[in-house]
Amino acid sequence: MPEKYWPETVILWGAGATKSLGLYATKELIQLVIKINNNDFSFLENKDEKLKKAFKKLVTEDLIKDPRLSKIYDLKALETILKTNTKLNMHELFTMLDQLIDNDMGFNAFCNGKTEFLRVDRIKAAKRCLILLIEELERISVQKSPGYMDELSVSSYYEFSKVLTELMREEALFFEKRGYKRDARRFYLYSYAIISFNWDPILLWNIFNAHKEENDNPVHLTDGLKLRLFDDFGSKITSTEMDSSESEIWYTADESQCKRVNDYKYPSRIVRIGKILFPHGVFGSRICPECGKYITTFGNRWDRLSTEVFGPSVCEELQINWKYKTKKEAKYKRGAIECPYCGQVTYPYDMPLIMQTLAKKRSIPPLEEIKTEMGLLMKNAKHIIFAGYSLPLDDIMVKTFFMSSISGNDRSKLKCTVVNFDENYRGNEDWLRGEELNRYVKESGNSQVVECIENVCDIFNIQNVRVSLKGVPDVFMEHGRCKKEKVIDLLYPKEYFKEGFPLIRN
């Protein structure tokens, strides 16, 4: 019999959910790349002086004059391509670069009164540079002082993570009382899962920290065993151990461990696990160019506000806290991470990020595995939350993937929550449904939000859709603090789950 227990609520985490942290959405990123191209650094105006200087140095000196960096990340070639058409969006730009690379073709650019031909090697290097810029722009976007995120803006995400952790602890105690077997999914699998379409690891890092605090001071189950909470990435991903000076191999937790550890015959501790997937990849991760393993890094220490979790940067001043661990890393620097399996040095361009592109996708096995897992989560979910994820249905791949994922799900029962942000919405309701929703769609001037709602209603039954226009984090905040009741109402609303939290798993 196939497994019948899956996370009941699946949260799709998108760019809108992290906007309040300063992270840029794709639309803004392409604008910024064009600005950099035009030597316009006005977007750094309110940044710390040191960061500002370092970023300018990266794009005006390192990527231009450094003989090695400028070859690998060819900013000049990228500029030339962008100059031929400044109206390109990110989707079109990546598709164009991929088409040229796939066909082994160069690019003939007419700009500044003459033509310049770029060979395909330079197109590849331009693409690498574009990805590097995206990574560095996001890294600098969250830094308030060098190396650190802004405590105030991160605090709501941290509190949210604390509440999620608290709920999963409570769930364990309830599930145990009900006699759910500890070595079965019914007990150990979280009732929520997160699928992040963002590359930034900030929510993940906050959940990690909240879990660690819980695990350092755990509750005891009835027979005295300690409860421990972990995350499963949907694919084997390796890192080196934190708080350790060695490059010792370290595995992220996964479901198979739950089965083993929770074995009644060998009682030691009890593990519960939540799914958190990054189907588009995550900053700081690498595919080793020698052995092909998927590796990542979470930095060297448990500092909730440190940007180390983004991984090392090619520019040290943009990642001030980073300490290269191994001899090889210290020798090569420039974002080097030594593969804990084979010892090969990996660089930021080994980072597998999925970009929106219509070109034939290069298959990246670990990410394919995560995508399969994501399909299963969506297929088996009872409640899907679009948290700042705007479902870009103009991307036909996204639309078809969504449709096929939920096609086997009974759509009269599948519930949906949309959390989006409309600063001009003046209504009082926490949630818009049915008629109110229709009225909003008709009358609102916010085409982006309306489009997102319409897309969702295309796939889901409108009777099963509710919408909040407060955005993340406000949807779960009250008087500046994250409120547990609001998180419960967001994830497990009584209108969708009769029994409310904790859910009943029959």
Stretch that binds Zn ion, among 36-44, 333-341, 437-445, 469-477 (CB under 5 A): 333-341
Stretch that binds Zn ion, among 174-182, 281-289, 389-397, 404-412 (CB under 5 A): 281-289
Q: What is the DSSP string of 258-316?
A: HHHHT-TTS-S-EEEEEEEE-TT--TT-EE-TTT--EE----SS--TTBGGGG---SSG
Selection from 456, 458, 464 nearest residue 413 by Cα: 464
User: Min. distance of Cβ 341 from Zn ion in angstroms?
Assistant: 4
Which of 288, 351, 370, 482 contacts Zn ion by CB under 5 A?
288
Say if residues 484 and 163 touch (Cβ distance below 8 Å).
yes
- For Zn ion, the closer CB: 291 or 504: 291
User: Min. distance of Cβ 373 from Zn ion in angstroms?
Assistant: 23
Between 340 and 359, how does the x/- string for binding to Zn ion read (CB under 5 A)? -xx-x---------------
Between 291 and 310, how does the x/- string for binding to Zn ion read (CB under 5 A)? x-------------------
Say if residues 472 and 387 touch (Cβ distance below 8 Å).
yes
Say if residues 88 and 82 touch (Cβ distance below 8 Å).
yes
The interaxial angle of helices 75-84 and 26-37, nearest 10 deg, is 100
- For Zn ion, the closer CB: 302 or 341: 341
User: Min. distance of Cβ 238 from Zn ion in angstroms?
Assistant: 9
User: Min. distance of Cβ 313 from Zn ion in angstroms?
Assistant: 21
Say if residues 427 and 379 touch (Cβ distance below 8 Å).
no
User: Min. distance of Cβ 250 from Zn ion in angstroms?
Assistant: 15
Say if residues 274 and 192 touch (Cβ distance below 8 Å).
yes
Instruction: Please report whether residue 75 would count as binding Zn ion according to CB under 5 A.
Output: no
The Cα-based distances of 162 to 150, 168, 483, 488 in angstroms read 18, 10, 11, 13
- For Zn ion, the closer CB: 95 or 344: 344
User: Min. distance of Cβ 296 from Zn ion in angstroms?
Assistant: 13
Instruction: Please report whether residue 339 would count as binding Zn ion according to CB under 5 A.
Output: yes
- For Zn ion, the closer CB: 174 or 341: 341
Collapsed DSSP state (helix, strand, coil) of residue 389 = coil
- For Zn ion, the closer CB: 341 or 401: 341
List the 415-419 sheet strands across, edge first: 227-232, 270-277, 189-196, 9-13, 383-387, 415-419, 465-468, 432-433
- For Zn ion, the closer CB: 137 or 288: 288
User: Min. distance of Cβ 432 from Zn ion in angstroms?
Assistant: 50
**Interface size with Zn ion, residues (CB under 5 A):** 7
* Greatest pairwise CA separation for the chain in angstroms: 79
Place of tokens 């991307």: 395
Q: By the criterion CB under 5 A, which residues form the site for Zn ion?
A: 288, 290-291, 339, 341-342, 344
